[in-house]
Amino acid sequence: MKGDRNAVFDYIFNKADEIGYMGLDSSASNKFQDDLQNDERLKEIAGEQLSRNYIKDTVLNNYSKKQRYITKEDVLKAISDIDESNIIGAKKDLENGLFTIDYLDTSVKCTSSSFGEWQTVIKRFGKKIANEQRIAFLTCGGVQKEANEISEVKETVISYGITPIIVKPHEPPIELKSFVLPPIKPTATGNSVRTSKPFMLLAGISGTGKTRFVRKQAEATGQLNETYCLTSVRPDWHEPSDLLGYISRLSGKAEYVTTDVLQFIAKAWRSIIDSGLTVDVVNLGERGERLSVSGDKNTLSAIKPYWLCLDEMNLAPVEQYFADYLSVLETREWDWNGDQFTYSSDALLKPAAINELDNKEKLRKDLGFESVIYDATWQAICQYGLQIPFNLIVAGTVNMDETTHGFSRKVIDRALSFDFGDFFPNDYSEYFEPSNINKTISFPFWSDAKTSIEQLKSTADENGDKSIEFLNSVNAVLKNTPFELAYRALNELLLAVISAQPKDDIALKAVWDDFLMCKVLPRIEGDVDKLGSEKSLLVKLESELSKQLSPIWDAATDSANARPDLYREKLVEEDAPEDEKAIRIQCRSKGKIEWMNKRLSSAGFTSFWP
């Protein structure tokens, strides 16, 4: 060739771009090559007429490779918030292998293929590993594909846990930070307690710090603006839509009006997806197909709890505006097989409501699922609804006075009720220099004691018989009264033992004591006609518990038989022995029953609530 080789290549490449060479059939391709061979301008640049073989086998073959393969320049055009130093891999790795993008202390595994051979990327990546981020660059060879064709391929690739990026022609550039998060660091395991139920009622007089307690819990395990949502309950709330939103047709179209609560629930879901756990649709036999989460215990333990604080929760009737949550709460299912788990529940936001909308994409954006990494999950949500995320803890602050509503047993049975002053007392002498600290609380791992019986073997009640005998004795006193306990109470007592993991009888009876405070005594209320007699229900219960909870029932706080506080510990060195950290307290249920009895005698009526 007499002319400039680079100029020849540039000219032919530009002509190939103009005509869409990669999309031509055989006949059109041959004609294009003929036209190039006789192109007068090309003859001038080359200094001679180029042979057909040179045009086809050298120049256009090179052009085809350039369109099929990606370079670092293509990656930088597709992702706007990285530079060349982030791309780790040789030219051949980008063209036909695996390379990585190092970003925010995360190594993102990447590969590429032509759009028509997208199955290659799935084989190349292999099985997904928890917390692994994966991107596939799919090259269209400079030919614009149909939108529905692109959508179908992307949907399939996403279902394998791979984020597809279309290049040549490039889609609008993305920011990697929008869907790649730094590796999740496990939250502290010391100074912590795992609750047996993700719904808590914090009852106490105004000013004791109930709302602040929830805020501090969120601060201890995560960023406050990420893992905490404070919602003030309004007295005029009577429908679940007040909490979770509703469909509006004021504009002439069906649109979903979201709430802060629903958006926070979606945020908790996104943290689960971002953690690397598998979120997929699974057939659960009798329960049918559901959106479920599965993975291993180590990854699960690293996930932060999301705290929803419903302030002044009983300013409105809880049974009304909270009805949907109360019902779905009992459908949570944890299934464990060794260190592997599957979690699912019924939907809070029903699929029928989502599919009634004229513009589901608006709801998707409002809930924060617009990133491409949520494509597969959003499709599943549209089909199966938005469930309760397992990392959501709902804490309602409660005051009992003439302006508030009481709780039915439907609510009490589904919650852990805390007399805040008993569990987290205000000690004026420690206002400036506290000597105790609240333990951090996290979400439960279990829902059914029968399927979690292996977890009992490491406790002081290795087969659950002691707890069953204890609850039988309590229920014998409550029999034929409105306060009698059912199977749910036994399940939750055993889950409390599993969560606390008591290693001796004193610690086991501390679990029983707190169970009485959170689950049994809140159910008991009434006047003298209902509770009073020659030997009232409370007196009988007190007599039975004095035997069942011996020796912690009468133990002084400085006694070896005093029970440990399961929710607080002393503020000492982190590596101090557990005995030095333990706070010894008096039996909580003993003091509470005495208080309820005195109230019945003096006022003619009593209840658990302060």
Q: Which residue has the tokens 């190594």?
A: 107
Predicted TM-score (pTM) of the model is 0.74
Least confidently predicted of 274-283, 391-400, 520-529:
274-283
Mean pLDDT of the chain: 91
**Mean pLDDT: which of 51-55, 136-140, 506-510 is highest?**
506-510
Give CA–CA dist 154/135, Å, rounded. 11
Is 90 exceeded by the pLDDT of residue 542? yes
Directed axis angle between helix 487-500 and helix 505-515, to 10°?
130
Q: Which residue has the tokens 């003030």?
A: 232
Strand 199-203, strand 392-398: pairing = parallel
Tell whether 187 is covered by a domain. no
Structure tokens at 378: 């959003």
Is 90 exceeded by the pLDDT of residue 586? yes
Instruction: Please give the C-alpha separations between residue 127 and each of 161, 162, 316, in angstroms, as whole numbers.
Output: 9, 11, 50
Q: What's the burial of 486, exposed, middle or buried (CB within 10 Å: 0-12/13-18/19+)?
A: exposed
Asked if 55 and 36 touch (Cβ cutoff 8 Å), the reply is yes
Give CA–CA dist 190/581, Å, rounded. 11
Tell whether 132 is covered by a domain. yes
| Residue range of the domain that includes 326 | 193-422+434-447
Tell whether 429 is covered by a domain. no
Mean of the pLDDT values across residues 173-187?
Answer: 64
Quick one: pLDDT at residue 187?
43
Residues 442 and 452 in one domain: no
Quick one: pLDDT at residue 192?
84
Local structure of residue 501 (DSSP, 8 states): -
Name the residue among 232, 245, 471, 458 with its Cα closest to residue 362: 245
Least confidently predicted of 188-197, 268-277, 322-331:
188-197
Residues 47 and 94 in one domain: no
Structure tokens at 351: 């699929």
Quick one: pLDDT at residue 186?
43
pLDDT bin (cut points 50, 70, 90) of residue 182 is: low
The proportion of the chain whose per-residue pLDDT surpasses 70, expressed as a percent, equals 96
pLDDT bin (cut points 50, 70, 90) of residue 242 is: very high
Q: What's the burial of 591, exposed, middle or buried (CB within 10 Å: 0-12/13-18/19+)?
A: middle
Residues 216 and 141 in one domain: no
Backbone angles phi, psi at 100, to 5 degrees: -130, 155
Residues 302 and 379 in one domain: yes
Asked if 204 and 610 touch (Cβ cutoff 8 Å), the reply is yes
Quick one: pLDDT at residue 467?
98
Residues 290 and 439 in one domain: yes
Directed axis angle between helix 588-603 and helix 537-548, to 10°?
170
Tell whether 264 is covered by a domain. yes
Is 90 exceeded by the pLDDT of residue 101? yes
Residues 173 and 301 in one domain: no
Quick one: pLDDT at residue 185?
47
Structure tokens at 240: 């679940």
Asked if 524 and 483 touch (Cβ cutoff 8 Å), the reply is yes
3-state secondary structure of 388: coil
Give CA–CA dist 24/26, Å, rounded. 7
Tell whether 428 is covered by a domain. no
Tell whether 603 is covered by a domain. yes
Domain boundary among 65, 84, 114: 65
Structure tokens at 29: 């391709």
User: How many other β-carbons are positioned within 10 Å of the β-carbon of residue 305?
Assistant: 25
pLDDT bin (cut points 50, 70, 90) of residue 179 is: low
Name the residue among 168, 164, 171 with its Cα closest to residue 63: 168
Domain boundary among 28, 43, 65: 65
Residues 392 and 483 in one domain: no
Quick one: pLDDT at residue 535?
75
pLDDT bin (cut points 50, 70, 90) of residue 411 is: very high
What burial letters (b/e) apply to 31-70, b meaning 16+ CB within 10 Å? ebbeebbebeebeebbeeebeeeebbebbbeebeebbbbb
Least confidently predicted of 16-30, 98-112, 471-485:
16-30
Mean of the pLDDT values across residues 564-586?
Answer: 90
Mean of the pLDDT values across residues 352-379?
Answer: 92
Give kind and range of the element (H or E) at residue 280: strand 278-283
Domain boundary among 65, 83, 103: 65
Asked if 416 and 518 touch (Cβ cutoff 8 Å), the reply is yes
Number of separate domains in the chain: 4
Mean of the pLDDT values across residues 260-289?
Answer: 90
Tell whether 188 is covered by a domain. no
Local structure of residue 219 (DSSP, 8 states): H
Residues 83 and 230 in one domain: no
Give CA–CA dist 13/34, Å, rounded. 15
pLDDT, tens digit (0-9, with 9 covering 90-100), for 183-221: 544 444 346 899 999 999 999 999 999 999 999 999 988
Instruction: Please give the C-alpha separations between residue 185 and each of 131, 293, 581, in angstroms, as whole numbers.
Output: 11, 20, 25
Is 90 exceeded by the pLDDT of residue 529? no
Using omega within 30 degrees of 0 as the cis cutoff, is the peptide bond preceding 172 cis? no
Rounded to a whole number of angstroms, the CA Rg of the chain reads 32
Is 90 exceeded by the pLDDT of residue 97? no
Tell whether 571 is covered by a domain. yes
Name the residue among 338, 235, 347 with its Cα closest to residue 290: 347
Structure tokens at 11: 């000219």
Asked if 6 and 14 touch (Cβ cutoff 8 Å), the reply is no
Question: Residue 45 contacts by C-beta under 8 Å, 6 or more apart in sequence?
Answer: 3, 4, 7, 8, 11
Give kind and range of the element (H or E) at residue 281: strand 278-283
The proportion of the chain whose per-residue pLDDT surpasses 90, expressed as a percent, equals 67
pLDDT, tens digit (0-9, with 9 covering 90-100), for 446-478: 999 998 999 999 999 999 999 999 999 999 999
Using omega within 30 degrees of 0 as the cis cutoff, is the peptide bond preceding 502 cis? no
Residues 242 and 363 in one domain: yes
Structure tokens at 259: 């709430």
pLDDT, tens digit (0-9, with 9 covering 90-100), for 32-67: 999 999 999 988 888 999 998 999 989 898 888 788
Residues 464 and 478 in one domain: yes
Name the residue among 213, 447, 472 with its Cα closest to residue 345: 447
Residues 335 and 310 in one domain: yes
Residues 340 and 440 in one domain: yes
